Chain A
Amino acid sequence: MEISLTINGKNYQREVDETKNLLHFLREDLGLTGTKEGCGAGECGACSVLLNGRPVNSCLVLAVEANNCEIRTVEGEAVNGELSDLQKALHKHHAVQCGFCTPGMIISIRALLEKNPQPDEPEIKQAIEGNLCRCTGYKQIIEAVLDLTGQLDQKEELTHA
């Protein structure tokens, strides 16, 4: 079936197998490999994308279901190669270790910030609850978001140095 959709502001028209999920469509058909596959079963969040502004696990969405939709992936986060403030904050706070969860994490945080520009810690935790990270223990990710939203000074700053 032929589908038409907007991804990171760019329009795509493609013939796609009706059984193909959105994740594989993005990765295999369009070469947008920033979105990752950690389980293919809706359990890890590595494949998160925004579908009409809502975060979804793209492994659970069929590509045909995204027909006429607007999709945003990690590749849409930096503008003209310049890191977004969110990307800068994650980088600065060492909130990225192996990086495999990062694209999905960025999408979930982006969705949160669009709804709620000053999320508190429980709200941040809730927003990324579906994004498993095995490396960081989440603390530096949460700190990055607090810093980005101007709230880190209220918290205890990292005292490691």
Chain B
Amino acid sequence: MSNSVVAPEQKEKQRAEAGLKYVGKNLERQEGIPKVKGQAIYIDDIQPEGCLYGRTVRSPEPRGEIVDIVFEPGIPWDEFVIVKPEDIPGENICAMIKNEIPFLADDEVKYKGEPLALIAHEDQQMVDRAINHITVKMKTDGYPAFFTIDEARSKQQVQYGEDNVLCSYQIEDGDLQAEFDKADLIVENHYKTKAQEHLYIEPQGIIAEVVPGEQVTVRGSLQCPYYITGALANLFAIDETSVRVIQTTTGGAFGGKEDYPSILAGHAALLSLKSGGRPVKMVYGREEDLLATTKRHPSDTTVRAAFDKQGKMLALEMDFALNGGAYPTLTSTVLSRGLLHSFGPYNWPAVNLQARAYMTNSTPFSAFRGFGAPQSIYALELLLNEAAEQLQLDPAELRRRNFLQPGDSMPTGQVIKEQIDLEQLMDRALEKIDYRRKKQEFAVFNRENDYKKRGISLATFFHGSGFTGDGEEKLASRAGVKISSENPLEILVANVEFGQGIHTGFVQIAAETCNLPPELIEVIEQDTDKVPNSGPTVASRSTMVVGRLVQDACEELVEELKNTAGLPDDFTTEDFLAASKNYLNSYGELYKEVQHHDPPEEQWDEENYRGSAYSGYAWSCDVVAVELDMIDYRVKITDFVSTVEAGQLINPDMAAGQIEGGIVQAIGYTLFENVVLEEGVMKNNHYADYIIPTAADVPSIDVEFIEFPLKNYGPYKAKGIGELPFDGPAPAIAGAVALALDKQFITLIPLLPETIHDTLSKLEETTDA
């Protein structure tokens, strides 16, 4: 193992002169052929011999004490495997960031639907019938529950710490008071966003098989193999090396399969243990998946900002709050990322930004593409539109006057070293949609039409790649490449493919570095017995951080072949293959593994929340035109343009697929997707009642990539883009709707027809009064 090394300048230069051969090309998806043939194996396609089917007994109440779990007559319970907390061999704690989530609630239940016990049987129909013949008796007296941020804030009941606050962060910069004193305009508003369900089309699923006392093996649909090894080692009180996790083809994840699979894997493995080692399969039906799994955090944000009359931003104050739900999950990191994206790509002389996540008795909220950033960006961008209106400036103009420039500092003190040009990014989007002309035409249209109204608006934003702050340094990911007797080149990483195309990207990076055609390169399956821990598949980190490790490992491998196997400096594919053969014949397999270290200039001060929050940022501008029907209050998106700067694209078509797919999910978030929480749990847990965009709902989305001339740390200067597209659509769409409504500003999403109707009636009431 060695430190990751930056490729010598010389080599970079030569490569640039030569042009890239594989990076930047639209290579076809590595696992595309089995997928179009229907041959890719997802977890529910596997039927192990002698398998049992598991189900979960859940709490009927949001809070209370379990008095009894009654197994009603009429079911042959003696044929069942039943697991209760006392069957847990190790710690009843699913280790995430804070160790506070039990696999099975023991004394106090904290949310409705919380797992209490597990049952399994070899006949799936029997187990599905049996689960409805279990009654949970609970004592709820003396256990009042609360579900909202407001209730948590009121401290009428305190269930967590002294104030129900799960975690909090703050960023302060500049002289806030002095800037507010100078202001010609102060604008304040309050914004709310609701929960969102991931709705990966493949539900959660795991198969576990335990050899009692020896080994736990888990297969399933998941993002983070090495989170599960850690969680199960703790649960079974065994060494992490005795837990083996194998990812099966994963039918979408979006953050929803980041932490939850650890719980499900624990459940299936506990049942397997209790059964004496039979394989246990737990694949959620859609209703259970919607009911039980995590969602995007609801948010509640107050923003106050000061401007001078030329539209210069002076100061920003924010109180950003998330509903964390009943347990900490990954909430602290979501909150932190939300805060670190809350100030936008603007130059604020002073800020005071506070972020708090509150404990409530709702189903725990956790990771979802964007990770807190969509919520805080929503609030900021909409406030800017209001300020622009009051300053009589076009919203694009207000942004233009305040964009960060190279050399400027973010409120964290992080200096922009890239040659960013946000004006160019925005102008290109405005030009493509024909913003000025549309805006004028819409004004005329709106005067002449009562039943349809049109609007156009925008959002500019960034998204940081990789773990926040010193997270990557602490994670110290490792990735390897190998010349083996089976494959000319193997890539060994723990980062999974769940549709985003990362394996194809890794192959392109390795192909480029080793001058090897992609078809000779194999990505080894994500099996913790085979691949090193290159960290979780989250946080827009795989391309930038792990891709860089793949590149570095390849560079080391090439060096080794040069030193020991006669590879010439300037080598062809044939040279590489010949040298590999030499090496194999003389020494056997060649394996190079590298470990991540943050570049020395990227340092982070966790205590004061200052420094380099992310070592790479992708930048984007969304511009959206809408038509609003004033009879049924439906919003139709007529035009959508997104310009994106993400450094060198590894695979432009796949990158476009990420942007388009992310935008469509965010359109759903903004316009249709309404998680109805009743006693903290999703009541509308069916597809039929939870509407996501269909092909018929989707506007034509025009994505254009531009590249700033810059130097960044990713492989071939690439950055992460998985989450970026989720950040802009909500404020851009809400801004366009506000314009259509003659600047009656929107503060809540989803913008369901009834939300728009209510907003308008409330405004009328206040004007009447």
Residues of A within 8 A of B (CB): 27-28, 33-41, 43-44, 46, 73-75, 77-78, 83, 87, 90-94, 96-103, 106, 124-126, 128-142, 158-161
**Can you sample 16 A-B contacts with CB below 8 Å?**
A33-B44, A34-B39, A39-B286, A39-B686, A46-B201, A75-B38, A94-B28, A97-B661, A100-B251, A102-B36, A102-B38, A134-B254, A137-B662, A139-B701, A140-B656, A160-B652
Residue of B nearest to A161 (CB): B652
The verdict on A44 contacting B202 (CB below 8 Å), with A99-B249, A106-B36, A160-B655 known, is: no
On whether the beta carbons of A98 and B663 are closer than 8 Å, the reply is no
Whether, in the assembled complex, B500 has its beta carbon less than 8 Å from a beta carbon of chain A, the answer is yes
On whether the beta carbons of A161 and B200 are closer than 8 Å, the reply is no
**A-facing mask of B191-235, CB < 8 A → 1, else 0?**
000000011111100000000000000000000000000000000
On whether the beta carbons of A126 and B201 are closer than 8 Å, the reply is no
On whether the beta carbons of A99 and B686 are closer than 8 Å, the reply is no
Nearest chain A CB to B526 CB, angstrom units:
15
Residue of B nearest to A141 (CB): B695
The verdict on A94 contacting B695 (CB below 8 Å), with A83-B33, A134-B201 known, is: no
- Docked CA distance A98–B498 (Å): 5
On whether the beta carbons of A43 and B686 are closer than 8 Å, the reply is yes
The verdict on A140 contacting B657 (CB below 8 Å), with A41-B686, A160-B652 known, is: yes
- Docked CA distance A55–B41 (Å): 23
On whether the beta carbons of A40 and B285 are closer than 8 Å, the reply is yes
Nearest chain B CB to A161 CB, angstrom units:
5
Residues of A within 8 A of B701 (CB): 137, 139
- Docked CA distance A142–B647 (Å): 27
Residues of B within 8 A of A160 (CB): 649, 652-653, 655-656, 703-705
Whether, in the assembled complex, B692 has its beta carbon less than 8 Å from a beta carbon of chain A, the answer is yes
Nearest chain A CB to B339 CB, angstrom units:
28
Residues of A within 8 A of B661 (CB): 97, 134-137
On whether the beta carbons of B36 and A44 are closer than 8 Å, the reply is no
Grouping DSSP codes into helix (H, G, I), strand (E, B) and loop, the A interface class, with mixed when no group exceeds half, is loop
Whether, in the assembled complex, B544 has its beta carbon less than 8 Å from a beta carbon of chain A, the answer is no
On whether the beta carbons of A102 and B35 are closer than 8 Å, the reply is yes
The verdict on A139 contacting B700 (CB below 8 Å), with A34-B37, A34-B39, A96-B35 known, is: yes
The number of chain B residues touching the other chain, given as a range, is 35 or more
On whether the beta carbons of B37 and A135 are closer than 8 Å, the reply is no
- Docked CA distance A132–B720 (Å): 26
Residues of B within 8 A of A (CB): 24, 26, 28-29, 31-33, 35-42, 44-45, 47, 198-203, 249-254, 285-286, 498-501, 649, 652-657, 660-665, 686-688, 692-696, 698, 700-701, 703-705
- Docked CA distance A97–B656 (Å): 12
Residue of B nearest to A46 (CB): B201
The verdict on A161 contacting B653 (CB below 8 Å), with A36-B202, A100-B42, A134-B254 known, is: yes
**A134 touches which of B33, B285, B665 (Cβ 8 Å):** B665
Residues of A within 8 A of B655 (CB): 160
Residues of B within 8 A of A139 (CB): 660, 698, 700-701
On whether the beta carbons of A38 and B652 are closer than 8 Å, the reply is no
- Docked CA distance A160–B45 (Å): 36
On whether the beta carbons of B36 and A87 are closer than 8 Å, the reply is yes
On whether the beta carbons of B704 and A91 are closer than 8 Å, the reply is no
On whether the beta carbons of B657 and A136 are closer than 8 Å, the reply is yes
- Docked CA distance A142–B657 (Å): 12
Nearest chain A CB to B727 CB, angstrom units:
16
Q: Which residue, of B200, B202, B701, has the highest number of chain A Cβ atoms within 10 A?
A: B202
Residues of A within 8 A of B29 (CB): 91, 94, 96
Nearest chain B CB to A146 CB, angstrom units:
12
Residue of A nearest to B668 (CB): A134
The verdict on A38 contacting B286 (CB below 8 Å), with A93-B653, A129-B694, A142-B695 known, is: yes
Residue of A nearest to B689 (CB): A43
- Docked CA distance A161–B500 (Å): 18
On whether the beta carbons of A99 and B499 are closer than 8 Å, the reply is yes
On whether the beta carbons of B687 and A39 are closer than 8 Å, the reply is yes
Residues of A within 8 A of B692 (CB): 132, 134
